[in-house]
Every structure is written in structure tokens, then in C-alpha cells.
Amino acid sequence: MRLFVFSFFIAFNAWANLESFSLNSERSLYIVDGDSISLQMRIAGIDTPELGQKCRKTGAHIVDCGRIAKNHLKHLLSNLPGPLLIEPLGVDHYQRVLVRVYKGDVNIGQLMVESGMAFSYKDTYQQAEDLAKAEQLGFWHYHTPPIKPHKWRKLNRR
């Protein structure tokens, strides 16, 4: 844990010195209590189904693909060996910190796509997504895989 905190501190300090760094949103930075803050981060290069986004696992079995993707990410981060490294890349248009996440030498975003639990965002991992589809891994094995999350969000705006 100390190694993670140290690695994150070093990476964040280097990144925070960028002139373009600015968080002006309570959505991305919020106060937990008097001595704690929390920072919302987004894994760069991937997009996963949203919580509540349904897909059909079998002909009659409808599941929450967003929850399945979330649980898969938790599983990877809990079970892969090695230290957790978070590499800040920038800030997206929703004021979330864009990051690459590694567990040991494994790129977690790429592994999410390779295992069929995430879509490639803007072709970052398109070859991995195509291979997962061809091999019917993860969601691609389902009777009806989830639609792309950006399309689902557009259809389900409140």
C-alpha cells in the first residue's frame, strides 16, 4: 500500500505541475471530511456499459452489464499480482482525471477490452476488441451483447 501511495504521489505531483490541470467540478473532486478528499478518475481508452444498462445473457436471462463490468474491474484489481500504479494523463470534458491503470505490468484498460468486458474508446484498443468479439469473450458471448455505452447514454438521458 505504501508503494502505491508513493507512486501515486510522485505521478500526481509531476502531472499536477501541468499548466492545463484544473478541476472546477464537484463531480470530480469532493470533500469527504476535514482531512480527506476524493478524486474521480476515468480509465483512458475504454468505455464500459453503464450501471443499469441491460443486456441479454441468454434468450431469457437479462442482466445488468454495467454491474458485471464493474465487478470484473474489481476482480482484476483485487486478484492480479503486483503493485497498483495509476498514471494520470489529463482531464476529460467532464472534469474527471484520465488515467492509465496498471496492476503489476498489466494494463487494466486493455485487459478489460481483451476480456470482452469493455469497448475500445476511439480505437485505442480496437484490435483487442475485434479479437474478443471473434473469440466470443465476455459480453460477446452473450445472446444480446450491450449496445455501445455512448449510444445507451444518448437513449437514456433524463
- Please say whether the beta carbons of 148 and 47 come within 8 A: yes
pLDDT, tens digit, 9 for 90 and up, residues 76-125: 999 999 999 999 999 988 888 999 999 999 999 999 999 999 999 999 99
Query: For the purposes of burial, counting CB atoms within 10 Å of the CB of 56, is it exposed (0-12), middle (13-18) or buried (19 or more)?
Result: middle
| Alpha-carbon span 49 to 127, nearest angstrom | 19
* Beta strand 84-91 pairing with 62-64: unpaired
- Grid cell 505490468 is found at 105
pLDDT one-digit tens code per residue, 7-37: 444 445 444 444 455 556 666 777 888 888 8
Single-letter amino acid, residue 50: E
Q: Which CATH class is domain 2-155?
A: mainly beta
What per-residue confidence (pLDDT) applies to 23? 59
Contact in structure between 124 and 46 (CB atoms under 8 Å): yes
Determine the Cα–Cα distance for residues 89 and 96; give it in Å rounded to an integer: 11
